[in-house]
Each structure stands twice: as C-alpha cells, then as structure tokens.
C-alpha cells in the first residue's frame, strides 16, 4: 500500500482487491467505519468516503442498520476460458428458461404461498421435535422418512377417500421429480405420452427430455378430450386442469380408465392444487377408480411452501421398486430428512389440517376479491373461468392476441406481471391470463387490478 501517497487511495485499492478476489462471502459484514478507522489509525471520514466509493462500484451494499456488507461480483480474471464440450442429446433437448427467484412487486404469475400464513409456530415446534430424533449418523430410506409416508397415506385416506398403504407412498423433492422419474421409467425413445393442451410446461419438458414424444390432448370445459391414443402414459390434472381450472367430468374419467385398461397404460394424476376448496364436495381422485393404473402425485408446494421441495407419489405396487431404484440414481440418500420428519409431526398433530382450514379461508377471500375486481375493472377484457378450488384463476382474453401483447408489455412496464399462459400452450394458443393471488395481500390485489384496468382503458 506504500504505492499510494494518500491513505484514502491505499485503503480503497486494498479493499477493492480483497473484494474482487472473491475471498469474502456474500453479505459478510465489514467492520464499522469507526472500528476500521481506529484499527488503522486514520480519520473515520476517510473510511466513510472509501465505503461510499466501493458502494458506487457495486462491490458493497449497506444493511438497514447502515452496516457495510460484501456484494459478491465474479471478477473477469477468475472466469475460465470456455471449452467447446460435446453436450449430450439430452442436453440438446433442454429448453432455456427464465428463473424467477423473488416475486416481482405485483406478480400474479408466481404460484407462491403467503409468508404470513405459513404456520410458523407449529413448524418450529415440529422441527424441534424432529431434531430430537434426528441422527446425523444415519440416512433416511430413499423412499422417504417412514413417519411421513404413513402421515401422507392417512391424509389421503381420510381427506380424499383413497385406499393406500404407506408402502405405496414415495416422498419426492416436489412433484416435478416424480413426473420426471415416471417419464424415464415408462417411455422408450420415440414413444408417446399424452399430455393436456394447454398444460403444465414442466410435464411437456419432462416427456421430451426423456426422449418421449408428447401427444397433445385438447382440453375444454370438461377437461381433456379422451381418445384411443397409442401411448404408454397419460398425464392429467383431473381435480383442476392446469391452467384452465376445469374439473374432469365423470364420463371422461371412466373413458380414460377404460383406455388405460385396454392399452395397459399408466395414468399420472397430477393433483397439484386441490386442497383449498371454496365450494362443493371434494372430488374423488382418479386413483379411487383404478388404483392399479393410476399414479397419484401430490405436493406441499401450494399448501406450505414451494421451497420445502416436498411432494409424494402414490404408486401401484409393481411400480414402487422401479421408482425407488430410479430415485436412488439421482440422490443416494433422500434430501431433507429433518424437514420430512417435521412435516410428519405437523400432519400427525393436526396442525397441518388446521393450517389448511385457516389458509383456505384467507385464500377464498382473496379469490372473491379478485373476481369482483376483474368483473368491475376488466370486464371488457377478461372472462374468468369459474372454478371451485385452487390457488389461481384462469381468464380468457376477449380481444385480439395482438392487443394482449401490447397490454402485457404495458403492465410489465408498470411493474405488474400478469400470469402469462403462452408457455403452457403447446399448440393453438388461446389468448388468456392466469391470476395467482395466494401470495398477495388484498391491497396489492386491488392495486394490481386497478392499474391493469387503467392500462386497458387507455389502449
């Protein structure tokens, strides 16, 4: 640091070098300006000035308490030269996708739940209990912690009327893991899997990545239109079609089961969003109609938190072993054994059902509010599809697709992100929007729809 005549320059360059080396962790606290000045025997004002310079370089930030924090940047010097590796055909089928980590200001597209409604006290005490029996020297079975498999089995028996033995339940890292594994287990390259159009993009991608060929089944207000497909498997969202919200009619359910029996095919019932029912009787899962042909896949992403990565697959007996073997190739021991044990406690103690009832009441209020606001502010633009359950609403756009693009662009500029449905149509896009409201407060819903209404009227 003798290179610099001024203390300020010496300190600035010295700290810059340390920050750019990447040796300090993101959000690591730097000494307070007072402490550093005393340590180096320089004026505090000099340190404050240097911190400000580093902040404008984007190398540090300040916490709410004004404490300086490291902001990590990757220095160009630490980047390695790109080697042109040969990627596999599998990698070639991967579709680039934008990752949305933090909800945007008003994001109607994100399928998150509300932080304020998370059963924090019960979860803490469940974690505490789980910790008592947690043994770091032992791994949980790959199918999941036994207590959770049991809790899930009794949950679906009690609430959904299913007939399930805990041995048929495998805990997965979110339902998408079950979907991907099933594609690998049931499809040879080039073989077909039926998927709904529109449908969940993650299912389409999983089929394609496994080398399979997605066969599109059109969806109307009674769900997927069943045909005598030449296919090994069929993915459906019978309780609440994604994204349209339609419930699969009884006729079509029976038709689908007859198809599976005839073709010796597997139906994958993606039950992603049926726990929060606002009206009517709960629908019987398809699993009850044909347990030997149906894999029932459920998730805690919408009821608790997407970040927990906990879901389950309820499999016909003869698929349990192959499924567990496939899972083991991706993870030798299951992730989150502690959280799995905590969740088992939460379910066993009744706290989970209490949470479903309480959160369900809040979500129903938000839904009614959304429906009322759209009917008042956007009635010439959107027609909401009626649905008795679920965390999002689907709305058909009444004007042209071109006008929708302009509208979406203007909403984005205003910081409002409607749920865009384009990526869930694999063919014949029908202009539409999604509105998830579970993670938004009532005032944000009002502000969001109010702004969208003003934008629409100005078009």
Smallest gap from Cβ 308 to ligand PLP, in A, equals 9
Strands (E), 5-72: 60-62, 68-70
Helix (H, G, I), strand (E, B) or coil at 361: helix
| Minimum distance of ligand PLP from residue 21's CB (angstroms) | 37
Asked whether position 394 contacts ligand PLP by CB under 6 A, the answer is: no
Show the site string, 257-286: x = touches ligand PLP by CB under 6 A, - = not: -------------x-x--------------
Number of amino acids touching ligand PLP (CB under 6 A): 14
Q: Which is nearer to ligand PLP, 89 or 101 (CB)?
A: 101
Do the Cβ atoms of 243 and 220 come closer than 8 Å? Answer: no
- Which of the residues 162 through 221 are near ligand PLP (CB under 6 A)? 174-176, 200, 202
Q: Which of 245, 234, 237 is nearest to 271 (CA)?
A: 237
Residue among 197 and 299 whose Cβ is closer to ligand PLP: 299
Q: Is 428 exposed, middle or buried (0-12, 13-18, 19+ CB in 10 A)?
A: exposed
Nearest CB to ligand PLP, comparing residues 168 and 237: 237
Q: Which is nearer to ligand PLP, 33 or 237 (CB)?
A: 237
d(CA 363, CA 274): 13
Closest CB to ligand PLP belongs to which residue? 174
Torsion of the alpha carbons at 435, 173, 323 and 262, rounded to the nearest 10: -10
Chain positions 47 to 106 lying near ligand PLP, rule: CB under 6 A, are none
Among 353, 185, 201, 371, residue whose Cα is nearest residue 272:
201
Tokens standing for 288? 């009850």
Using DSSP's 3-state secondary structure scheme, residue 271 falls into: strand
- Which span (150-158, 181-189, 221-229, 298-306) binds ligand PLP, by CB under 6 A? 298-306
Whether the CB-CB separation of 108 and 418 falls below 8 Å is answered with yes
Of the candidates 33, 187, 109, 211, the residue with the CA atom closest to the CA atom of residue 438: 109
Residues in contact with ligand PLP, shown as a per-residue x/- string from 107 to 146 under the rule CB under 6 A? ----x-----------------------------------
Tokens of 377: 């502010």
Question: Which of 300/345 has CB closer to ligand PLP?
Answer: 300
- Residue 314 beta carbon to ligand PLP: minimum distance, rounded to whole angstroms: 14
| Strand ordering across the sheet containing 213-220 | 169-172, 311-314, 294-299, 266-271, 233-236, 192-197, 213-220, 223-224
Closest to ligand PLP by CB, 223 vs 453, is 223
Shortest CB 421 distance to ligand PLP, Å:
12
Figure out which of the listed residues 301, 303, 340, 389 binds ligand PLP, where binding follows CB under 6 A.
301
Place of tokens 């969202």: 237
**Pairing verdict, β 266-271 and 294-299:** parallel
Q: Which two tokens stand for residue 166?
A: 């805990």
Q: Which is nearer to ligand PLP, 237 or 432 (CB)?
A: 237
Whole-number minimum distance, CB 97 to ligand PLP, in Å? Answer: 13
Residue 299 binds ligand PLP, judged by CB under 6 A = yes
The site for ligand PLP (CB under 6 A) is made up of: 111, 174-176, 200, 202, 237, 242, 270, 272, 299, 301, 306, 311
């Amino acid at each position: 640091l003798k290179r610099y005549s001024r203390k300020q320059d010496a300190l600035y360059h010295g700290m810059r070098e340390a920050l750019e080396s990447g040796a300090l962790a993101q959000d690591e606290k730097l000494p307070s300006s007072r402490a550093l000045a005393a340590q180096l025997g320089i004026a505090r004002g000099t340190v404050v000035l240097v911190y400000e310079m580093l902040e404008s370089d984007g190398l540090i930030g300040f916490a709410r308490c004004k404490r300086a924090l490291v902001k990590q940047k990757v220095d160009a010097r630490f980047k390695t030269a790109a080697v042109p590796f040969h990627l596999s055909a599998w990698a070639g089928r991967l579709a680039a996708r934008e990752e949305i980590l933090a909800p945007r200001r008003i994001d109607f597209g994100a399928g998150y739940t509300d932080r304020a409604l998370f059963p924090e006290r019960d979860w803490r005490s469940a974690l505490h209990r789980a910790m008592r029996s947690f043994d770091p020297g032992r791994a949980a079975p790959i199918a999941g912690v036994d207590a959770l498999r049991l809790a899930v089995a009794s949950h679906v028996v009690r609430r959904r009327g299913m007939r399930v033995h805990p041995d048929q339940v495998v805990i997965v890292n979110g339902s998408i893991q079950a979907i991907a594994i099933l594609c690998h287990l049931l499809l040879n390259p080039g073989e077909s899997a039926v998927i709904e159009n529109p449908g969940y993009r993650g299912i389409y991608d999983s089929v394609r990545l496994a080398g399979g060929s997605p066969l599109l089944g059109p969806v109307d207000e009674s769900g997927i239109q069943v045909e005598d497909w030449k296919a090994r498997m069929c993915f459906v969202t019978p309780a609440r079609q994604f994204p349209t919200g339609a419930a699969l009619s009884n006729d079509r359910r029976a038709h689908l089961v007859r198809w599976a029996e005839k073709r010796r095919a597997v139906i994958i019932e993606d039950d992603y969003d049926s726990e929060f029912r606002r009206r009517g009787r709960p629908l019987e899962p398809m699993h009850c109609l044909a347990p030997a042909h149906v894999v029932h896949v459920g998730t805690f992403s919408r009821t608790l938190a997407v970040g927990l990565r906990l879901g389950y697959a309820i499999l016909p007996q003869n698929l349990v072993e192959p499924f567990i073997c496939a899972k083991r190739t991706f993870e030798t021991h299951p992730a989150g054994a502690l959280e799995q044990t905590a969740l088992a406690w939460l379910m066993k103690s009744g706290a989970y059902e209490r949470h479903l009832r309480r959160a369900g009441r809040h979500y129903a209020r938000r839904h009614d509010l959304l429906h009322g606001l759209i009917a008042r502010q956007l009635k010439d633009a959107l027609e909401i599809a009626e649905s008795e359950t679920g965390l999002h609403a689907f709305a058909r756009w009444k004007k042209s697709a071109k006008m929708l693009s302009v509208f979406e662009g203007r909403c984005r500029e205003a910081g409002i992100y409607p749920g865009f449905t384009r990526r869930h149509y694999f063919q014949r896009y029908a202009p539409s929007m999604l509105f998830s409201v579970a993670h938004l407060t009532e005032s944000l819903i009002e502000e969001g729809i109010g702004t969208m209404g003003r934008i629409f009227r100005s078009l």
